[in-house]
Structure 1
Amino acid sequence: MLNIADTLHRWCREARPFALATVVGVHGSAPLPVGTSVAVDEDGDAVGSISGGCVEGAVYELCRQVLRDDRGAPQRAWFGYSDDDAFAVGLTCGGELDVFVQRIDPAAQPYLSTALSAIAQGRPAAVAQVVEGPERLLGSTLSVFGGDHVAYGHIDGGQADRAVADRARALLRAGRTVRVDIGGQADECPERLSVLVHVHASPPRLLVFGAVDFAAALSQAGRFLGHHVTVCDARPVFATPARFPHADEVVVDWPHRYLESTEVDERTALCVLTHDAKFDIPLLRLALDLPVAYIGAMGSRRTHDERMRRLREQGLTEQQLARLRSPIGLDLGASTPEETAVSITAEIIAQAHRGTGRPLTQVTGPIHRPSEPASYW
């Protein structure tokens, strides 16, 4: 639902009931990920897309049907590829979509409106939506938002609330929208539920150390990909906002000292571009002991070998050193700062989504991997 959060927020403010159709499962290749939604209000106005056009008409009619249903019971539908008729309802990309449709009455779900308001303002929030389980719980939502991750709303008023809230908090910290199974055990939640947790998190951080030409191109690429970009260098003559207009902030400080004082998490990417031992070694010694997503360092093969020698002398283990991507980036044949920035960001993307970095023509299986949080640490 985050793809249409602004419109849903407005409809909730206007107390306008609507049907929400959400992709809750993807099999094979599909154009849009789990969590993408279409909404239709009682006047027939529609917003959003779940398939790039392939099944929108059928989903629209299903939403209208749910709105007309006196009980307002949620419905499920599967859409897949049709060989018999190119114009039939189906996905020409060859994948399958599992779609969950429910009626939303804003007056009955005030905390959904509050969560959508937080999202519209750019604040972190998660909305957990029950998409499979006992009929009485289908469509129930629980929202988690704010720096203190307070939960509002309810699933069953008891154990399920606590279990779903805990999972939503964890996914909000990880910054990933995923469907998870909860319950089935008395100590957690006696009833088994499948819950789609929609997450709007703060942008992941990209920390670029070294105020060099490559850093300027990398900060632009990182900004384009939705990162909050920080450029840090100890040399004030080079570390200036004018030289890095695409960075969200430019910091003049010794790299390791800045890293000690700033906040990082499991989505943070660190790119060390200084290839100067007096900056690199203290910084990497600290970085390789932090639970961050990606650590890469620029330099030649000779620089890399010398860097590894020095880090071993500092007491780092082979397990820690294995986390270091050095020389930084994928082998794209890059030479210019702009090409190198693409090489580095491609490696960051591959690391985050467990990609191989190989051409798709050489890889079998689904193009899009399941949306599961990667394990970095």
Structure 2
Amino acid sequence: MRDILPALYAWYAAGTPFGLATVVAVGRSAPRDPGAAMAVGPGDEVVGSVSGGCVEGAVFELAQEVIASGEARLETFGYSDEDAFAVGLTCGGEITLLVRRVSPADDPAFGAVAESVSAGRPVTVATVSDGPAPRGATLAVWPDEDWGPDRAMSRSPGSTGRDEPDDRAGPPDGVSRSPGSTDPDEPDDRAGPPDGVSRSLGSTGPDEPDDGAGAPGGVSGSLGSAGLDVAVTADARGELAQGATGQRHYGPHGERREDAVTVFLHSFAPPPRMLVFGAIDYAAAVARIGAFLGYRVTVCDARPVFATPRRFPAGVEVVVDWPHRYLRGTTTDARTVICVLTHDPKFDVPLLEEALRRPAAYIGAMGSRRTHDDRVGRLLASGVSVRELSRLRSPVGLDLGARTPEEVAVSVAAEIVALRWGGSGLPLTTRDGAIHPR
């Protein structure tokens, strides 16, 4: 939907209802992924695509019906061996679309969502697609205040503290600073609408309440039940942390062991990064499980004989460079995971000096107890503070008794997940109470 957002915002700002069709589920060789969108606006203007041309004609008519009735529709288009062309999706796959009407009256939070997406601020939109809840109802969820790239970016020149991000960074690319900013070094929290759409300063859009919904930690809208809202808000923030999009199932009041209500969670955030240093066998296993967890994985090593793409899973970026130099030149944020697997002082020490002074969710280093003690001594001697060292998870991973590279990767992944969500790492059989506290 990012590509068609300027057109959608223009229709929304004008108060003109439009039909928005979103792919919420796919099967087999579907042409588009969940989240792909097509919209029908005033004058029968069409933007976007849900199938690359296979079923757009049928979706156009469906969107017109939804605009007229205001009732959201869920439709599946697939392949029939008997009459493939009559069904429309001839690629052999299947897509399920949710089509709903959008306007300031139908979806008061849409303007705030559009501005967040345009400004690069993460947000998840949850929409009921099926079950005993209002179909098409939406809940916009922004992350907790201490999370996200907009809260903790990599250090930039002029940073006021070694442990703190430079909060004076400018606005996201593509969003100009509003006239009247009192400090040229301060970000303008009144980021404008998507590129190509003008909006007067102070305006929140027609009939759109200015309730601060776009602020980090905010929630706007409802899915029709307080319990459902609470459960979906928690899950939406979890999906947002991974930049994931997909369907979740609940009971009518948010019960997690029921599947009566289907909710589509559409996250607008880039996947978090995993930076793996040291192109060894353990790195290949960690990279594989990192990709499985939804991270965008980069492996870096100064030794070209080891840092070769054929040694790592498809889709993993492989970089030949000195680790500390690469890290210094790349961007990290509060979701970034850094795994140091080199266990060689000439690589580890300068790399960890850099890593421990920049934002990251997790910094782990492999090595024995003796290697760890030696590494800590070298880091302290190099000027790393005790406070900075407290961020280091070393030796890396949870105590699972792991031996093989794959088992060690599971140990590392378990520690990352436990640290992200505040888990104890203890067997659930030894603990009382809810598994997922709300």
Give the TM-score normalised by structure 1: 0.60
Q: Residue 194 of structure 1 aligns to which amino acid in structure 2?
A: T
Report the equivalent of 1:175. Answer: 243
Q: Residue 23 of structure 2 aligns to which amino acid in structure 1?
A: V
Structure 2: distance between partners of 1:204 and 1:324: 23
Report the equivalent of 1:6. Answer: 6
Report the equivalent of 1:125. Answer: 123
Asked if structure 1 preserves the Cα contact closer than 8 Å seen for 2:21 and 2:97, the reply is yes
Output aligned runs, 1:227-376, within 5 Å: 233-234=323-324, 239=325, 248-249=330-331, 265=335, 268=337, 270=339, 276-280=344-348, 319=400
Structure 2: distance between partners of 1:12 and 1:322: 57
Please give the secondary structure, in 1, of the residue aligned with 2:235: helix
Q: Residue 112 of structure 1 aligns to which amino acid in structure 2?
A: F
**From 140, 143, 148, the counterpart of 1:143:** 140
**From 171, 180, 204, the counterpart of 2:272:** 204
With over 3 angstroms needed to count, the CA separation of the structure-2 counterparts of 1:232 and 1:149, relative to structure 1, is farther
Report the equivalent of 1:160. Answer: 228
Long gaps (5+) in structure 2: 146-215, 278-299, 309-314, 374-393, 410-438
Please give the secondary structure, in 2, of the residue aligned with 1:113: helix
How far the C-alpha of 1:149 sits from its partner, in A, is 2.4
Structure 1: distance between partners of 2:257 and 2:222: 14
How far the C-alpha of 1:45 sits from its partner, in A, is 0.7
User: Which deviates further from its counterpart, 105-114 or 205-214?
Assistant: 205-214
Q: Residue 131 of structure 2 aligns to which amino acid in structure 1?
A: G
With over 3 angstroms needed to count, the CA separation of the structure-2 counterparts of 1:194 and 1:176, relative to structure 1, is same
How far the C-alpha of 1:270 sits from its partner, in A, is 4.5
**From 96, 99, 103, the counterpart of 2:97:** 99
Asked if structure 2 preserves the Cα contact closer than 8 Å seen for 1:29 and 1:95, the reply is yes
How far the C-alpha of 1:20 sits from its partner, in A, is 1.0
User: Which deviates further from its counterpart, 314-323 or 103-112?
Assistant: 314-323
Report the equivalent of 2:46. Answer: 46
Asked if structure 1 preserves the Cα contact closer than 8 Å seen for 2:22 and 2:50, the reply is yes
User: Which deviates further from its counterpart, 140-149 or 48-57?
Assistant: 140-149
Asked if structure 2 preserves the Cα contact closer than 8 Å seen for 1:2 and 1:198, the reply is no
Per-residue CA deviations over 1:120-156 (Å, capped at 9, x if unaligned) read 1111111111111226x11111111254321111222
How far the C-alpha of 1:322 sits from its partner, in A, is 6.1
With over 3 angstroms needed to count, the CA separation of the structure-2 counterparts of 1:200 and 1:226, relative to structure 1, is farther
With over 3 angstroms needed to count, the CA separation of the structure-2 counterparts of 1:82 and 1:101, relative to structure 1, is same
Per-residue CA deviations over 1:320-370 (Å, capped at 9, x if unaligned) read 8669579x9xxxxxxxxxxxxxxxxxxxxxxxxxxxxxxxxxxxxxxxxxx
> For the aligned residues, what is the CA RMSD?
4.7
Please give the secondary structure, in 2, of the residue aligned with 1:88: helix
Report the equivalent of 1:66. Answer: 66
Long gaps (5+) in structure 1: 219-224, 250-261, 298-306, 329-377
Structure 1: distance between partners of 2:254 and 2:271: 37
Report the equivalent of 1:113. Answer: 111
Report the equivalent of 2:78. Answer: 80
Give the TM-score normalised by structure 2: 0.52
With over 3 angstroms needed to count, the CA separation of the structure-2 counterparts of 1:163 and 1:79, relative to structure 1, is same
Report the equivalent of 1:194. Answer: 262
Structure 2: distance between partners of 1:100 and 1:248: 39
